[in-house]
Amino acid sequence: MSATPETQTEKLTFRRYKEGDTQVKRWQEKIFQASYSYKCPTYVQSTPPCQGSCPSGEDIRGYLNIVRGIEKPPVGADGKPTMSWQEYAWRRLTEANPLPAVMGRVCPAPCETGCNRNEVEDHVGINSVEHYLGDWAIKNNLKFKAPERQTGKKVAIIGGGPAGLSAAYHLTMKGHSCTIFDEHEFLGGMMRYGIPGYRTPRDTLDAEIQRILDLGVEVHLKTRIGTQVSMEQLRESFDAIFLGLGAQAGRALPLPGDPADHSAPNVVTATAFLKAFNDGRLKTVGHRVVVVGGGDTSMDVATVARRLGHIEKVNPTDFEGAIAGHMAQDVADISLRQGAEVTLTSVYMTASQPEIDHAQAEGITIMGGWMPIGVVKGPDGRATALRVMQCEAKMISGRLDIKKIEGTEKELPADLIVSAIGQAVDFTGIEEFNSGKGMVAADKNYQVSGKPGVFAGGDVIRPHLLTTAVGHGAIAAEGIDQFLAGQELVRRPKIDVHSFDLMRKYVEKGIQLGEVGGPTHGTDKSKAVVHNYENRSERYVIPHDQLFLGHFQFTERNKRHITHLNKDSALGNFDERLDALTEAQVIAEAKRCMSCGQCFECDNCVVYCPQTAVYKVKKTETMTGRYVATDYDKCIGCHICADVCPTGYIQMGLGE
């Protein structure tokens, strides 16, 4: 049994019995039932909560087990591995997400929030492993393997952002021909035009996009569907259409009265601001910048504004011109830059805590609990200040309840006001897809309501994370594939992720099975079944209380180095802040994974079985997920094996 070494200085957070517990659970009545067993072990694969929390549906447990060395790369005829573990892990990861180097940097990692290891000491650094694998693949020039079979079907993809690129990748891998239409000069969508380059280095983004295009994806840039190319033309030329145009139109300030009363050349949206910066047109922002919004986008705006600073002597319309598309480069280049005073006001803060901490460290003032109520304008029509009022905001049943605090009004002087309160879809020329709520309505397969053969994904359905858009693209690709094959779109599984496939391991291992049928209770010999194995991954996420957490020692997380900037060093600093882990650190971090819901070969069940009923599978037949088996002639149903299984893979199911 695992024991904490004497040198351990940190306390484990897991305890089977808590302070104040007085009742001991007795199992005798369940274990001993006269002369027969109550239950015998069955091997149940479940979805770990990291995968259940991943919007792109990555097989996280799978690639972590490869990194840690439990699952080995397949071997060739010469008995040697056909690829390195890094490549094997990357290929497992990219079965779901073709952009790991980008997502390993910018995804807020809901997988880590859901990680069961949080119940021991700290989550597994899943995002950092993804970051390393993505960078390794670029450095070693890994390519996707194009499918051998082509269907002859053609799919038009509107929008080259994360959803469109994901859909193009998955559809191409299924043998369909894809053409991306994008109105911008470059592909990437919000990854390029909505996120600063110090968070998504452009060479990294370009490399991952090019890898998708190398599969044979055709691209038409600076082409807007609905104006330059009509939907009728697309329907005539393509067998299916995917809408991934994103929501890159910003939302104006939510102010009462006529919107014209609050409009000014220096009052802009976050999407327009970030696009101007990422295009290279925005070089300065003015002395005082006020950002309205509480999400991660507002943090991006605030930190970019802080880095840009302001120009001491300049025509005040120059930075407005940058956002409109015309920047006076010569003025920006010769004028003196100083740090801008940036204030961020928010009714309700939803940004991640690390982003908030970074912003405050860089000298950005954050005013939580303040709502905009008006724009103060000068004689020239330009905004001079944002009028705000203090408020109290609570989330009640999924809706934000806001109460104003009268008498707290004040003005925040501003040379530039940026609205970062959300995004909207530009339906110009494609109004037929507007649901009436400014978005596209789609079903569970992401087929647009009332539009057979037209699917959608990403921010046009619901503005959310970049990795959510990647997941939408993958699910829509499955729906499009079924549609093109003339199949009825099936009901999607309860848990929609890529998961470990035991049958694929049998093929890799070269082990022959008969025709595999349903579970045959009580058998451990038949070749017509996989020995007492059940896959519940499509419907069950295994919680922490189904694991034996006492098996795991305190192991500190390997954290990536983050460059923290202060008020002075942030100015003009657009270098990447997040460093990748080393190979040794990545392996160590993967070993912290508890492999929830799948065997990780700890031997506990074999060691502690009093009847020697649980045994290791013969080396010629052993594989990931099939490391141990049970001799039911010896099993008495004591369920010790299930109790000491750290991963919850063994459950007492037979005999019910």
Q: What is the DSSP string of 225-285?
A: BTTTB-HHHHHHH-SEEEE-----EEPPP--SS-HHHH--TTEEEHHHHHHHHHTT-----
- 423 — phi, psi (to 5°)? -125, 160
pTM greater than the 0.75 cutoff? yes
Kindly indicate the confidence band of residue 327, based on its pLDDT and cuts at 50, 70 and 90: very low
H or E element, residue 395: strand 383-396
pLDDT digits (tens, 9 = 90+) for 111-138: 887 888 888 888 899 999 999 999 999 9
Indicate if the pLDDT at residue 394 is higher than 90: no
pLDDT at 435: 82
The better pLDDT of the pair 316, 175 is held by 175
Rounded average pLDDT over 57-86? 93
For residue 232, how many other CB atoms are within 10 A of its CB?
Answer: 8
For position 331, what pLDDT does the model report?
24
Judged by DSSP in three states, 137 sits in: helix
Residue 564 pLDDT > 80: no
Which range of 59-68, 265-274, 454-463 scores highest in mean pLDDT? It is: 59-68
Q: Please provide the DSSP assignment of 194-221 as one string.
A: TS-TTTS-HHHHHHHHHHHHTTT-EEE-
Q: Which of 146-155, 240-249, 418-427, 526-535 has the lowest mean pLDDT?
A: 526-535
Q: Judge residue 584's burial from the number of C-beta atoms within 10 Å of its C-beta, 0-12 exposed, 13-18 middle, 19 or more buried.
A: exposed
pLDDT given at position 420: 77
What band does 447 get if pLDDT is binned at 50, 70 and 90?
A: very high
Q: What is the pLDDT of residues 185-220, one digit of tens each?
A: 999 988 887 777 777 888 999 999 999 999 999 999
Q: What is the mean pLDDT of residues 341-369?
A: 78
Looking at every residue in the chain, the average pLDDT score rounds to 81
Quick check: 652 pLDDT over 90? no
Confidence of residue 319 (pLDDT cuts 50, 70, 90): very low
In this model, does residue 24 exceed pLDDT 60? yes
Torsion angle, alpha carbons of 199, 274, 435, 244, to 10: -50
Q: Quick check: 5 pLDDT over 80?
A: no
Tell me what pLDDT residue 243 has.
94
Would the CA dihedral through 486, 487, 488, 489 be positive or negative?
negative
Block residue for tokens 């892990």: 89
Structure-model confidence comparison of residues 178 and 468, the more confident one: 178
Q: How far is CA 586 from the centre of its chain?
A: 19
To the nearest 10°, report the CA torsion of 478, 89, 511, 609.
-110
As a whole-number percent, the residues of the chain with pLDDT over 70 amount to 79
- What are the structural domains, with CATH classification, of the chain? 31-46+501-536+598-656 (3.30.70.20), 154-249+425-484 (3.50.50.60), 258-422 (3.50.50.60)
Position 291: which residue type? V
Least reliable range by pLDDT among 138-142, 180-184, 319-323, 388-392:
319-323
